[in-house]
Chain A
Amino acid sequence: MKTIGFIIQKEFKQIFRDKNMLKLIFILPIIQLLILSNAATFDVKNIDIIFVDNDQSKASRELEQSFKSSNYFNVRSSFFSEKLAVEEMQKGNTDVIINIPNHFDRDLQKEDKISIAVTINAIDAATAGIENVYINQILNTYNKNILAQSKYFTENKEIAQNILVIPSFWYNKNLNYKIFMVPGILVLLVTMLTLFLSSMNIVKEKELGTLEQINVTPIKKYQFIIGKLFPFWILGLVILTVGLIISKVIFDVPMLGNMALIYLFTSVYLLLILGIGLFISNHSDTQQQAMFIAWFIMVIFILMSGLFTPIESMPKWAQNSTLINPIRYFVEVMRMVMLKGSGFLDILPQFIIISSYAFVMNALAVWSYKKSN
């Protein structure tokens, strides 16, 4: 025990002595949390839109007005030629072109039915899809207004019964994406930091040659490993705490569930991450190698975590492969406990998976750590 305590003490001394590292460990994650949470948004705003108004009527201007009054669109001054509008699209100056045909107003009055051309820049398919939905919503409202007006004029006409849909968004009433993102990004930061630091730590001793000096001492494998990794376990929990405080104070993320549950889960989760870090460490000879492997694993973990793209919309094989992604479970648990107020029984499946995963990973890591070769 005394030996372990002493190694831990030594590790902390080294961490706190490296002033640059200390800044990296504490300041960078905070900045990332602040920036990413504000920037990584799925909202599509500031859509540039061009109207090619061939009609120049009351109806066409009303339609244009309804787009102008929405805060999602930036309506550019009307163009008269479709050719010019297309050129603008080519240059990337606009996202959407709406072409209102000649006699729009007249046909609308006469025939009850008219089509307009909507062209959407679909280089980014996801954005284009969302833009399409927005545009349709505005057009629907516009349609309804027209119907209401015509009803007023021709009362004898039968009007289809309107079904009013009032959606109610649970757990995130205003569909505030930050509330959804912040717990996820916090998970990323905690994972990245502990994985990188732990995977480079033992390799560093290998590189400096100090590992060889340690290996000729009677120190036991488990003493050394625990002594080396424990500080990063503490560090991970500290980062989590800082992140949670920021989430509460700055982003006002609801914390419905029991925070002790989050700490319990994180403490087991960190064991798993440290085990992966140690495993990487054992299989690389330089810090560069360790860094590359850690990055490689991290990128896959992040992209397949369900944080940026929903797991449900991945192909079946990809969905299955996310089952071995620890970040996935951590993100789930964070969201469940913070936003939904889930209790221990609700997160039990995730807890069991992560615990057994941590056990297997650490067993592998300790087994592959050799004092001699």
Chain B
Amino acid sequence: MSIIVQNISKSYKTKKAVENVSFEVKKGEIFGLIGPDGAGKTTLFRILTTLLKANEGNASVLGFDVIKDYKSIRSSVGYMPGKFSLYQDLTVEENLTFFATLFGTSIEENYDLIKEIYIQIEPFKKRRAGALSGGMKQKLALCCALIHAPKVLFLDEPTTGVDPISRKEFWEMLKRLQQKGITILVSTPYMDEASLCDRIALIQNGLLLKIDSPENITKNYDKVIYDVSTKNRHKLIHDLKNYPSQYSVYTFGEYIHYIDKQMKFNLEELLQYLKDKNHTEIEIKTAIVTIEDVFMDL
């Protein structure tokens, strides 16, 4: 096990940030913490990277206790905080050299590991980090987190505020790092990224709700979801919400996702109901369950 978290609780003054959280991350796994803003993801990261002490519970990274062996953890993990936190007034190269030196290494020593990422920002190596675009900043931050060849990588919302193409590229990079044997703990508020992880933990209001592989999480979802669309979308939401046996109604892309309370749900009845409400161009079909649907139901 690369990361072990046991019954961790942490509260700030009166607010509970995480409560009784436990999970384990296997070696060489990409483990995702999925949850909305304020769910407690960053708090968990800060505890695991020894920046914050938990009120209760134990945690260990690579077998090192986060309290007792914090020094060993600091030299063998890489951390990329959610907020860009490199020196904006130093150049790309200077930032990288600086962090390499802090870890007692050099760019050349671990160049293999960062090579693929670094060649993309190398043309701008004389540019100040503050003048980089969002995607490039994130690549630089990843390089800085990797420069000392860490065995575990902590990425706190690495793709927030990054364009879709850079996000895709970023995940491809993570997959390649995984092949090099690096364990990755990543958090994200984007549900579509969840399916790219090996296993995910759904977290909300400081509580871990579910831990499993993305496939199992969607496969084990016990309700049927319908994609519904009509011409008048706004009225549709309203009418569906007033349907007697509705369980849940929410927008999902171009469709409205509808879930019914009853196991024996009659599709024709809903169709007739919508027709009676003067809806036209009615379309109803079974939807493919996504992580987001599971999350909405939690």
Contacts and interface: CB of A to CB of B under 8 A. Distances in A.
Given A213-B81, A217-B99, A372 B50 contact: yes
A60 B130 CA distance: 77
Nearest to B148: A217
A218 B52 contact: no
A14 B87 contact: yes
A6 interface: yes
Given A218-B75, A372-B53, A210 B85 contact: yes
B52 A10 contact: no
A214 interface: yes
A10 B98 CA distance: 8
A284 B84 CA distance: 21
Interface residues of A, number: 22
Contacts of B79: 213, 216
Contacts of B98: 6, 10
A217 B81 contact: no
A372 B45 CA distance: 13
Interface string A176-209: 0000000000000000000000000000000011
Interface in A1-31: 2-3, 6, 10, 13-14, 17-18
B102 A209 contact: no
Interface-centre pick from A2, A212, A217 (highest chain B CB count, 10 A): A217
A213 B144 CA distance: 10
B275 interface: no
Contact of A217 (B52, B74, B84, B89): B74
Contacts of A6: 98, 101-102
Contact of B101 (A3, A17, A215): A3
Contacts of A17: 89
Interface in B67-93: 70-71, 74-75, 77, 79, 81, 83-90
Q: How large is the interface on B (under 10, 10 to 19, 20 to 34, 35 or more residues)?
A: 20 to 34
A219 interface: yes
Contact of A214 (B49, B94, B102, B104): B102
Contacts of B77: 216
Contact of A218 (B81, B83, B88, B103): B103
A10 B84 contact: no
A373 interface: yes
B90 A13 contact: yes
A209 B83 contact: yes
Interface centre among B50, B51, B144 (most CB of A within 10 A): B51
A329 B71 CA distance: 42
Given A218-B75, A373-B53, A209 B81 contact: yes
Contact of B84 (A3, A209, A216, A218): A209
Contacts of B99: 213, 217
Contacts of A372: 50-53, 70
A217 B86 contact: no
Contacts of B90: 10, 13-14
A10 B103 CA distance: 15
B162 to A, nearest CB: 17
A371 to B, nearest CB: 8
A118 to B, nearest CB: 63
Given A3-B101, A218-B71, A372-B70, A212 B89 contact: no
Given A3-B102, A209-B83, A216 B89 contact: no
B51 A218 contact: no
B194 to A, nearest CB: 25
Contacts of B86: 210, 213
Interface string A313-344: 00000000000000000000000000000000
Nearest to B49: A216
A373 B84 CA distance: 21
Contacts of A13: 90, 94
A194 B49 CA distance: 33
B276 to A, nearest CB: 57
Contacts of B103: 217-218
Q: Which of A2, A13, A14, A218 has the most CB of B within 10 A?
A: A218
Interface string B40-80: 00000000011111000000000000000011001101010
A10 B81 contact: no
Interface of B: 49-53, 70-71, 74-75, 77, 79, 81, 83-90, 94, 98-99, 101-104, 144
List 3 tightest A-B contacts by C-beta distance, closest first.
A209-B85, A218-B75, A217-B102
Given A13-B90, A209-B81, A372-B53, 18 more contacts: A10-B87, A17-B89, A208-B85, A209-B84, A210-B85, A210-B87, A213-B79, A213-B81, A213-B86, A213-B144, A214-B102, A215-B51, A216-B51, A216-B74, A216-B77, A219-B102, A371-B51, A372-B70
17 contacts: A6-B98, A10-B87, A14-B87, A14-B89, A14-B90, A18-B89, A208-B85, A208-B88, A210-B85, A212-B85, A216-B50, A217-B99, A217-B102, A217-B103, A218-B74, A218-B104, A373-B53
